[in-house]
A and B are shown apart, each in its own frame.
Chain A
Amino acid sequence: MSPNFIVSSSPHFHSGNNIKRIMYLVVIALLPALGGAIIFFGMKVLWLSLIGIFTAVIVELLSIKIGFGKTWKESLSRSFDGSAIITGLLIVYNIPPNAPFWIPIIGSAFAIIVVKQLFGGLGNNFLNPALAARAFLMASWPSLMTDFSPLAGNMRGAISGITNPNGLIDAVSSATPLNVLKSATRYLSDPSMHNKAVETINKLYSPEVFKSLFIGNIGGVIGETSALLLLLGAIMLLITGIIKLRIPMSYILTVFLLILLKEIFSGGELIIGLKAGLFHILAGGLILGAFFMATDYATCPITPVGQIIFGIGAGILTFLIRMWGGFPEGVSYSILLMNIFTPLINRFTKPRILGEKK
């Protein structure tokens, strides 16, 4: 914040927060999950991340320098404010570890140029740049972006045993837990496959699988697998006050409750419903999305009520996509859709000014 922004005369405290501090704290909060991904998927993840971050920062620097005509000094300081680093890192978190090296380059360039700088740079983007880049990559190279086949020797697969129970899920090329669940659910209505499908789902809801889901020893995109390490970073962000609990809590609780209700209304037992709800929280990108991407300052509502509406809306959309959509995972699209609703939510939840008549 520039010094000439202070306008009033009263004594003021400066919280010590500025863009750089906030952004680098988020980067630090994201690092445990990166470490986990390196352990689970191998060193390639580190190179992918460095490429993504490097591209994002360079493209940011060039677009500020050329697009906005700033001096080199200011362009450098702006492009190292940490926001580009977060975007680059989050894009890498959203691609599978098998992705070729040019995927993060194109993703970062798209995110920074098209989604962020064309709309005016930091704070003016209407979509989360990393998620928009993920949607772009998914639309362009769907097969590369869903190639979760294990890297040789690196997956100590708890899930790999489940992906192939008596040949049931053989046709699925990928192996994220949500993928397995989705295809098993599809087979439920097929009488000849029904028993195997039930068996697969029971295996998915077993304690061993929950343990791997929590630790992160599963297939998936780079950043989403380890609930434990993501929560570690999220707790740090909550303690330092960078994010509030409103969006993540309302988001995750909505998904949990809707899954629970669906299981109960379709005649399942309560315990199965609870297990299914927990499974849907831990599997896929819900924790990554709820804590690190839905809370992006520029693209979520600013009022407390608005933030809760945002979380609930994203939860409903995620539930709908996971249950009846074509994709097994819906976190990224639901956050993107709610990003678009953000101005509307802000407008409707605007607090009344003191003394204003209704």
Chain B
Amino acid sequence: MPRVLIIDDEEDIRDALYDVLNRAGFEVDVASTGDEGIDKLRSKPADVIVTDIIMPGKDGVATIKEIRKEFSGAKIIAISGGGNFGSNAYEPNAIKTTAYLAAADEAGADLILSKPFDREALIKAIRDLTAG
């Protein structure tokens, strides 16, 4: 049972993602800031970390970099409200047209999903990342 950590500063998003992933059968934990998330990871590591990019305080890019450093095996999905060309399905090769998406990519995110996405997309992404 893959364990997922959700890091996002919006409560509604945390709740929605929790409900969705919980129903899908994952073990879910939430954090509202990057630091809180990293703390939780230290006490209980996760297989997949779903993190928002634009957050007050430590933003997603920095969080990703730290997580990469500490937990090299973890899979990281960056989610962003910045939008990009195209649909809401996840596209691994989507054009990274925003600076922060590109930064997230460079920081070491395995996947980028742009908000809003539907639950199938997220679930598929997590399954793909934990499959291999």
Mutual binders A and B: no
Partner-A contacts on B (CB < 8 A):
none
Partner-B contacts on A (CB < 8 A):
none
